[in-house]
Structure 1
């Protein structure tokens, strides 16, 4: 990722992380102070560049794929997300940009597109051969779950292969009429199916329709029907011939893929929204770019630690104890001196795990700078348990610092306090309270939960 300063001439880059340097091959000192256009080259789409320039001029977010060039001259597809960052008075302060190398994804999609075109070309060729010969389609294979059929349009008499009968869940040794086929169509898909057949006959176009059906046993399946009408010299339709295919597995795979894509989009949007909020608040409150960079890297590290745990668990959740150990490791959580953890096994859902990791990192950072972890002999006790809050079962977590310097409430509320007391409470639908007791800072977090074992939280 990088940050640019639009208040300077040519909107130069003022911050980049190590991942950007690894991606582009440029060293940090070769990047700072330059406009992002140095990654463009002769094959970069000028229209895409113009769209990016217009969005920056309009101070609006934009996401697009650009063909960029690395330092060694090799090209890569860069998915760029640019977002403006405004100060408390609504004035533009910076542009934040994230970059993802999507070269392999683009190549894979291109390959799939070529394969799709080749497949459709082959299907069209076969359909043309079958129409020309006016023969029933007999090329269905059981392994492909395909069948053939023919229909006399005037008498509505239909002939179906064994494969076609199997597609509709019918015994292969029993008759299967056009009325049986019509009755099998799912009630919600009948109008669509009828319209597709009517249009194909009226216009002489290829019939290609997918719809649900109900077998005699009540099972719901998906079929794809393809066919072509034959006509007299005067244009009167005589018959249709075509093929059927059971596409139930494909439809289920598409639904599963759509579910995964939706879940991924939801998680990415949530993560980006949180990162954007952290960046905006950090830059707004930082006294220097160096301070902002260090704070951003530390906070992103805390979120990344939670993300690593969630990935290991396939995003099913994360252990609270493991989350604390991973997040607080840079502050000495493993030495047995600085932290004492006590509580039952609790599994946190992704949204709460990420928010709590960020909050614990903020508490530890403040403790290391000003509190119990800033002096020899200071320590932090973190305990949690399952109890009842306002008539609901909840997880209560307590943070208590001891052995540190005298504590007094700060003159102003920093971003860390705001994040803990407001953001954490909002994300968990609970509450978080910080108390600046003379003997040490204390934090109490209450998170509503579901289930008797505390494994699933709201």
Structure 2
């Protein structure tokens, strides 16, 4: 019999894990020279609870190496010797209890007694098990805390990407409560008006930031919307900006009280300085851009109008509307970079789905030949992909760690035309059941490509995961860019 087995007693089931072939690794002290205070408390508690003169807390890493995390009654070298099975002359009787979290053994808690002492009584072993259970709880809480910190960091990164996308598209959304005079807005809105950073501003501060030459006309148009027409559209310069900065605004009264007074107004602002100051040689391009912007704003207004109907409060509306506006803004920005001649589907898919994926361990696969989309196809598909990914993150495959999403597409020929067919497939998520009521997100998935003639969208809630198939006419040959 090996010396290690002769010099120790394992008291609880399989808790005595053989370590004779494993080299112990002493845990390095922290920068302050202190070991983990929680682990120190645990070994002290274990020794006190079992009337033992010494105790050891050891952990195992991913490579199967054991390390002493804390010891009581002996020094680190003695603890390492005891851990490796060499034993100690004065302390030869030992009892071990596993530390397990979610069924996985992460370490052991051991107590040592003098060599002449009898085997620990069952009640002492029961106390040691209680302390080991407490150690497992500490480890589980730490894991949850770290996971929460990672999730919070990911949320901050996603919000940063969203804000950058909105800023790149030069669009800022806002919700105004005429009764309180407070505007809930994107952080980009105060920047447009040269105001301090904020997500809540007073309407009078916005009015004060408009150039005096334009404030009269702006107020008149806005009052007309408030007192009957509902829709507002205007352009004005920002006070004190040199060269002059021009902003455009589109707004709509979406809620009135019984007396007809407006209680909720939503809108968007965007920078139009470049359009206002463009040279004569750019007029044709500017007219085309203006046409596209108006179409986009019409879509934005429809999005906001429907979103607010399904939102329970302004905060929920602003969040949902901003996310959809971000998806539209990404497509708008890509189209602007290509002078509205169309963009590649691969680039659009990556830009739209990146905020929903994990950088370190991607869970969304994107495959298919690159195909150039028309502006209407790109804008419609951007909203469809956003809603599919958003629903997957909230309720579907992306709501659980093991879930995955596959986006693929191919080109099909038939009946004298080529069609682009995209497939969205979720797997590994919660069991899916068809919703009793379809929200605006489901409506967007089915109708976002309404402007693309002969397009088809099939959206299915299968038990194994959500499926969607999108088919649209293909103009021209596919690109072969990487």
After superposition, residues 46-445 of structure 1 pair within 5 angstroms as 46-69=216-239, 78-86=246-254, 94-101=264-271, 257-332=282-357, 335=360, 337-388=362-413, 392-427=417-452, 429-445=454-470
Number of residue pairs aligned between Structure 1 and Structure 2: 306
Q: Is the 8 A contact 1:283 1:292 kept in 2?
A: yes
Q: Is the 8 A contact 1:315 1:350 kept in 2?
A: yes
From 179, 185, 188, the equivalent of 1:16 is: 185
SS in structure 1 at match of 2:247:
strand
Structure 1 position 44, deviation (Å): 5.3
Partner of 1:164: none
SS in structure 1 at match of 2:302:
helix
Q: Is the 8 A contact 2:410 2:421 kept in 1?
A: yes
**Aligned CA-pair RMSD:** 3.4
Q: CA separation in 1, counterparts of 2:210 and 2:357?
A: 44
- Counterparts in 2 of 1:325 and 1:27: CA distance versus 1, 3 Å: closer
Q: CA separation in 1, counterparts of 2:474 and 2:265?
A: 39
- Counterparts in 2 of 1:60 and 1:283: CA distance versus 1, 3 Å: closer
Q: CA separation in 1, counterparts of 2:468 and 2:257?
A: 32
Q: CA separation in 2, counterparts of 1:365 and 1:60?
A: 31
Length-normalised TM-score, structure 2: 0.56
Q: CA separation in 2, counterparts of 1:104 and 1:341?
A: 36
- Counterparts in 2 of 1:446 and 1:411: CA distance versus 1, 3 Å: same
- Counterparts in 2 of 1:390 and 1:446: CA distance versus 1, 3 Å: farther
SS in structure 2 at match of 1:450:
coil
Q: CA separation in 2, counterparts of 1:47 and 1:318?
A: 38
Q: CA separation in 2, counterparts of 1:105 and 1:380?
A: 40
Q: Is the 8 A contact 2:210 2:239 kept in 1?
A: yes
Give per-residue Cα distances to partners, 1:393-414, cap 9 Å, x unaligned. 2010000101111000111111
Q: Is the 8 A contact 1:373 1:379 kept in 2?
A: yes
Larger RCO (CA under 8 A, 6+ residues apart): 2
Partner of 1:26: 196
Structure 1 position 374, deviation (Å): 0.8
SS in structure 2 at match of 1:429:
coil
Give per-residue Cα distances to partners, 1:110-159, cap 9 Å, x unaligned. xx9xxxxxxxxxxxxxxxxxxxxxxxxxxxxxxxxxxxxxxxxxxxxxxx
Structure 1 position 283, deviation (Å): 1.0
Q: Is the 8 A contact 1:13 1:35 kept in 2?
A: no
Q: CA separation in 2, counterparts of 1:399 and 1:317?
A: 22
Q: Is the 8 A contact 1:48 1:66 kept in 2?
A: yes
- Counterparts in 2 of 1:333 and 1:89: CA distance versus 1, 3 Å: farther
